[in-house]
């Protein structure tokens, strides 16, 4: 509770929290306010924004409601960002913990695989993965996670290596706990918090990567995303630039909200630690 108050006490934390709350609200209200498929045609094409009260942000070149698209897109962006980040964090933590605990050849081999993933541009990897498996939401999420799990893996391994040497782990070993028991009861819970600190950056990067993929036409074609809205607006960029600009602003606000929130959270956590 006091952490939340301290989070809202920093300007970054307050603004970030407000932006993220608004986004979640938009995502939750989208199916209520716009129960129809946002890809369905609701009016004449290319209605400019703020001219028709029933279509506040106008329509695109096929006559689809821009506001409905934006609100449904918020859900997609958040869902993909969070799911991909969660997948990357879990996979990374598991691999990193395993490497750190096993040591020796296993560690060496796993870390070379991590290196390999790091020298391949993650966007190219995502591109290749989606093109092999076909564009659908789970595939896009996996493709993004493929390029994001190495950071958590490295960090988890480093944490495990340092925790392994600490007294309470040695004590657990003396008490006769089995290695796996030590790993899950003593090491993992202590290694996770620093790794969790990476999560917001990964969410932000995932949101941006998803947008770039769907901008290139590699997103799920049956779901409205901000990236695909930008791509479709691109065809009428000269006459109706707002079609590309609005979803871009939404995208930027989302990422900014995530960054501000994480900065505020880091501040709040640092102050709690300094007081303790």
Partner 1 sequence: MRRALLLLKRRAISSIPVLLIVIVGTFLLLEAAPGDAVDAYLLSIGGGDAALVASLRASYGLDQSTLARLWLYLTALAHFDLGWSVTFGRPIVDLILERLPNTLWLMGSALALSFSLGSILGVVAGARPGSATDRFLSIGSLALYAVPSFWLGLVLSVVFSVQLRWFPIAGIETIASGKHGIDRALDIARHLVLPVSALGFIYLALFLRMMRSGMAEAWRQDYALAARAKGLGRPRIVIRHIARNALLPLVTMLGLQAASMLGGSVVIESVFAIPGFGRLAQEAVAGRDAPLLIGIIVTSAVLVILVNLLVDITYALLDPRVGAAEAAA
Q: Under the criterion CB under 8 A, does residue 18 sit at the interface with partner 1?
A: no
Q: Under the criterion CB under 8 A, does residue 121 sit at the interface with partner 1?
A: yes
- The distance of closest approach from Cβ of residue 77 to partner 1 in the complex, given in angstroms and rounded to an integer, is 11
| 65-94 binders of partner 1 (CB under 8 A) | none
Q: Under the criterion CB under 8 A, does residue 113 sit at the interface with partner 1?
A: yes
Q: Under the criterion CB under 8 A, does residue 204 sit at the interface with partner 1?
A: yes
| 215-274 binders of partner 1 (CB under 8 A) | 215-216, 218, 230, 234, 237-238, 241, 244-245, 248, 251-253, 255-256, 259-260, 263
Give 246: exposed, middle or buried? Use CB within 10 Å, 0-12, 13-18, 19+.
Answer: buried
Of the candidates 193, 168, 190, 172, the residue with the CA atom closest to the CA atom of residue 181 = 172
Cα separation, 258 vs 44, in Å, equals 36
Q: What does the DSSP 8-state code read for residue 202?
A: H
- The distance of closest approach from Cβ of residue 119 to partner 1 in the complex, given in angstroms and rounded to an integer, is 4
- The distance of closest approach from Cβ of residue 148 to partner 1 in the complex, given in angstroms and rounded to an integer, is 11
Cα separation, 133 vs 131, in Å, equals 6
Q: List the structure tokens of 17.
A: 């929290």
Say if CB 143 and CB 125 are below 8 A apart.
Answer: yes
Closer to partner 1 by Cβ: residue 118 or 190: 118
Q: List the structure tokens of 183.
A: 């790993």
Q: Under the criterion CB under 8 A, does residue 171 sit at the interface with partner 1?
A: no
Of the candidates 204, 193, 132, 201, the residue with the CA atom closest to the CA atom of residue 163 = 193
Dihedral of CA atoms 212, 217, 221, 225 in degrees, nearest 10, equals 30
Q: Under the criterion CB under 8 A, does residue 214 sit at the interface with partner 1?
A: no
- Site size toward partner 1, by CB under 8 A: 41
- The distance of closest approach from Cβ of residue 135 to partner 1 in the complex, given in angstroms and rounded to an integer, is 11
Reduced to 3 states (helix: H, G, I; strand: E, B; else coil), residue 163 is helix
Closer to partner 1 by Cβ: residue 19 or 182: 19
Cα separation, 233 vs 238, in Å, equals 10
Among 36, 120, 170, 196, binds partner 1 (CB under 8 A): 120
For binding to partner 1 (CB under 8 A), which residues are involved?
112-113, 115-116, 118-125, 127-129, 131-133, 204, 208, 211-212, 215-216, 218, 230, 234, 237-238, 241, 244-245, 248, 251-253, 255-256, 259-260, 263
């Amino acid at each position: 509770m006091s952490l939340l108050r301290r989070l809202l006490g920093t300007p970054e934390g307050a603004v970030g929290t407000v932006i993220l709350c608004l986004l979640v609200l938009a995502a939750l209200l989208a199916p209520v306010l716009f129960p129809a498929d946002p890809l369905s045609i609701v009016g004449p094409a290319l209605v400019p924004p703020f001219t028709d009260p029933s279509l506040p942000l106008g329509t695109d070149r096929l006559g689809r409601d821009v506001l409905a698209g934006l609100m449904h897109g918020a859900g997609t962006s958040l869902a993909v960002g969070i799911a991909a980040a969660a997948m990357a964090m879990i996979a990374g933590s598991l691999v990193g913990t395993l490497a750190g605990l096993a040591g020796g050849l296993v560690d060496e081999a796993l870390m070379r695989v991590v290196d390999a993933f790091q020298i391949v541009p993650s966007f190219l990897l995502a591109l290749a993965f989606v093109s092999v498996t076909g564009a659908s939401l789970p595939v896009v999420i996996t493709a993004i996670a493929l390029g994001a799990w190495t950071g958590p893996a490295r960090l988890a391994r480093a944490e495990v290596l340092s925790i392994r040497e600490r007294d309470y782990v040695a004590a657990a070993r003396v008490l006769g706990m089995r290695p796996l028991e030590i790993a899950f009861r003593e090491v993992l819970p202590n290694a996770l918090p620093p790794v969790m600190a990476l999560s917001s950056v990964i969410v932000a990067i995932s949101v941006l990567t998803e947008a770039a993929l769907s901008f290139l036409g590699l997103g799920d074609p049956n779901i409205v995303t901000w990236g695909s809205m930008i791509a479709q607006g691109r065809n009428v960029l000269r006459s109706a630039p707002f079609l590309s600009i609005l979803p871009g602003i939404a995208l930027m606000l989302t990422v900014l909200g995530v960054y501000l929130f994480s900065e505020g959270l880091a501040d709040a956590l640092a102050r709690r630690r300094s007081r303790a």
